[in-house]
Structure formats: structure tokens, C-alpha cells
């Protein structure tokens, strides 16, 4: 016997959590942009670091999606290919490794390196949290739409009797 649709609870993040996630991500982007904009040294170093941060940010979102899809694929019996797994994880580690290497080799003060390093790690952490929050909202919206469709079908079937 299936549970009544009236008893179904759709878990959603609180508005406060959503605001905190977006504020954290925005703050991380702002801190990274500020650090990179005022980065002393050559324009090539600045360009390398901007590319590295963007590569890391993109790789973090791809990895978050891959892990979440893998969880769903394990349940449904389908998943990504081993080669895609290698590409996703390899891309993430390459992005993090190359950006870290670039940051360490730059001829700037240790304080500035620390600022850039911490803001970079904050950005990656905030990106994973934002990706999870957005995916949770999407899945809750899908569950709610499915539930409303079932209720509408049930109501329509009741009218037809």
C-alpha cells in the first residue's frame, strides 16, 4: 500500500540557509576577485591565477554534479563511465594542483599568498555548498511537481467516477 500524498514531506532548505550560502559564495568571489585584481607582479601571473581560479571553480561544480549524479545512478542502477570519472576527478585535481603550484611559485609576500590561498579555498568550499543547495532545491521542486501531478490525477479520477 502506498502512503497517502497528504503524508508526504518534501524536505527544503530554510530561507536563512539559502541566504547564507549565497552570501558566502558572493563573499568568496569578492575576496578572490579583490586579491587577484590587486595582485602584485606581472600581468601574466595575474592571468594565470585568474584562469586557475576559474578552472577550480568550474571543476568544483562539475565534481559536485558528478558525485550527486553518481549517488542517484547507484540507486537507479545506471552511472557514469569509468573514463568520465577519470576526467572529472583528474580535472579537479589538475585545477587544484596547478593553481596551488602557481600560487606557491609566485614571487609575492607570504601574507599575500596566504590571503589568496585562504580566499581560494573559501571559494571552492562555497562552490560545493552552493552546488548542493541548488541541487537540493531542484530535487525538491521535482518532487513537489510530481506530488501535485499525482494529486491532480487522483482528483480527476475521483471526478470521473
Domain-embedded: residue 105 = yes
Q: How far apart are CA 115 and CA 107, in angstroms?
A: 14
What is the end-to-end Cα distance of the chain in Å, rounded? 21
pTM: 0.82
- 154 inside domain: no
Question: What is the extent of the structural domain holding 52?
Answer: 17-145
Please count the structural domains in the chain: 1
- pLDDT tens per residue, range 126-145: 999 999 999 999 999 888 88
Q: Has residue 160 been placed in a domain?
A: no
Q: Is 134 part of any domain?
A: yes
Flag whether pLDDT at 77 surpasses 90.
no
Instruction: Please check whether residue 161 lies inside any domain of the structure.
Output: no
Q: Is residue 5 part of a domain?
A: no
pLDDT by residue (tens digit) across 19-63? 999 999 999 999 999 999 999 888 888 899 999 999 999 999 999
Any domain includes 92: yes
Instruction: Look at residue 108 and tell me if it is in a domain.
Output: yes
CA-based nearest residue to 56, from 130, 116, 129, 121:
121
Residue 133 makes CB contacts below 8 A (sequence gap 6+) with 13, 17, 18, 21
What CA–CA distances, in Å, run from 93 to 34, 66, 104, 114, 136? Answer: 25, 14, 16, 20, 25
Per-residue cell: 111:
601574507
Amino acid at each position: 500500500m502506498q502512503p497517502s500524498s497528504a503524508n508526504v514531506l518534501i524536505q527544503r532548505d530554510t530561507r536563512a540557509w539559502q541566504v547564507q550560502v549565497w552570501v558566502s559564495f558572493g563573499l568568496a568571489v569578492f575576496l578572490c576577485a579583490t586579491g587577484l585584481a590587486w595582485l602584485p607582479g606581472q600581468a601574466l601571473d595575474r592571468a594565470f591565477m585568474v584562469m586557475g581560479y576559474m578552472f577550480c571553480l568550474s571543476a568544483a561544480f562539475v565534481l559536485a554534479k558528478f558525485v550527486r549524479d553518481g549517488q542517484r545512478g547507484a540507486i537507479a542502477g545506471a552511472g557514469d563511465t569509468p573514463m568520465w570519472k577519470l576526467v572529472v576527478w583528474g580535472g579537479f585535481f589538475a585545477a587544484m594542483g596547478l593553481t596551488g603550484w602557481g600560487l606557491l611559485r609566485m614571487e609575492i609576500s607570504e601574507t599575500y599568498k596566504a590571503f589568496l590561498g585562504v580566499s581560494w579555498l573559501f571559494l571552492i568550499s562555497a562552490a560545493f555548498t552552493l552546488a548542493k543547495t541548488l541541487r537540493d532545491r531542484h530535487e525538491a521542486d521535482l518532487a513537489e511537481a510530481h506530488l501535485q501531478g499525482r494529486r491532480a490525477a487522483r482528483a480527476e479520477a475521483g471526478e470521473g467516477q
